Structure 1
């Protein structure tokens, strides 16, 4: 019995039950019960049509559960109902389930959890472990999310931008527990890309792959952060980079640019450079300018300031940084880098210390404190390069 097959089939089976009239929570519960039977009964002889088997068993589970409810009229109505035929037309059930799980009525955290549960096929325990919360807490979060979307029909247009934001949130959750959420996000986005011909879906997939390809080089054996410029590029996954660039090129060829394609293009320029010194910073700045037309946020402007500092010198980078909110996370770290690059050693050391106080995790804090200590130990020994 292949558990990967079950995970792939889960969202489609849930969506079929919802289309037949089950509310989302009841459908998801029925499918989970069917999966338990599949795990027990498929070891020796899996059915010829696994999806059909799951639909049949899950629908029976739903009918049985409905019979036990107090609303007798509704029970009898569902009892007499024959299983409906599969949805007609070109609608993909899994695609519609993506849209339901990313419904705007849900908070980002709830949408992520529901997507991992219903579309990703992860267990509540796995999702809780990945988010470093108790299983009971995650169960309540998922239960509330299912109740929220219970009354929403699947035949309404979905918002692909919301779906992509949820998938990117999953990717950025990181790597915790026995579930690699970054890898899971790539799997889900690749699945979505096969169902929906949209350049921004491809752009997001390419962006994830290009970032993920550098994963092994981002930290030392002890967990210390390694900045991009100092990473051992021989540890980058070149096959994943190549595939990511190919996917990006196909997306850009459609000439329907978007936020994720711009971000992926920036990541591709970093990944394509043989060394940090050979990075095409001028073109990266141009892509940041393009990105600002889709997402004029402080985070984008912060990252653009770094690129400007590399392309046009530290002083130009500091001028670009002046437009960024000083309270933004990482602003002090970027300011420290640019001041050091400009030869302002004492100011850079102070800013690294400030940035360390604002760091959101221990690895980042340790890295920034190390930078501050390095500059404090060698005052006045830096060349002005701005």
Structure 2
């Protein structure tokens, strides 16, 4: 990501990373030998913002033992032409090409993009199967599933870039016809939404018990707009929804996404970036609630880089996770940092 000396700017839900600001704080890596699978990051080069394999490799090189990563849908490198429905296949081709670059060993030992999650428009209904089959072919054995973002809110200050998305997407009958195509192809579904929508995902999970679902970013707890200044009240509502959806055995949770502006913390506006102690203090209630509800075998730490890079470095984010998880057993830590992700995304770790 290119450096910037400008004041923090954001797209609403997350701040743009600033390398010079992040460089003001570095710390020793905690438990540096622990193997980590980072199950959620993006790669893009657009709008003057670049986060590609070189930037990812540089972040990994700051000290944590990242053994593999999972690339997740962010509309990168869609095909410019051809049928609209099949344009996301270009993202799979791109992500697979990056994985081949990583496999050369020229970008460090981590298997970057060992798993690939892209997008297919499930509102195509039954026709989504053809797109999914094309993505499986393009993934060269690495394609694992899709994300069709359902994040929506009536308030623009909350919805941000998702303001034009349809309300109630997960309940739509045509969407569910497309969703039904996933399990027969052994594909999973990444769910990105805001916490008031968790109930809709729980309904979907119960309707399709054989489809593997992962709830991204701790279920998107919101601290902006009408939720600003109401952290305790919102937390209680969010916690109840987390405890309910955790009853669905086909759902797991990603622990992260909390360094986006969505949560309502202002780390990106401070003169210096947060330490891992400060980050852990802010995020601990959310992460511990999720682990308690789902259990370590159904929870995985994620970087969500580069969106979360707007508030902290790669070094700090995983140090914060290690501080929060210090209370757990060795087997539980292994699940949280690598095993759950490797099992869910069917990764072959070297």
State whether TM-score is above 0.5: no
More strand by share: 2
Q: Which has the higher contact order (CA 8 A, sep 6+)?
A: 2
Name the structure where helix makes up a greater proportion of residues: 1
- Please report the TM-score for the alignment, with normalisation by the length of structure 1: 0.25
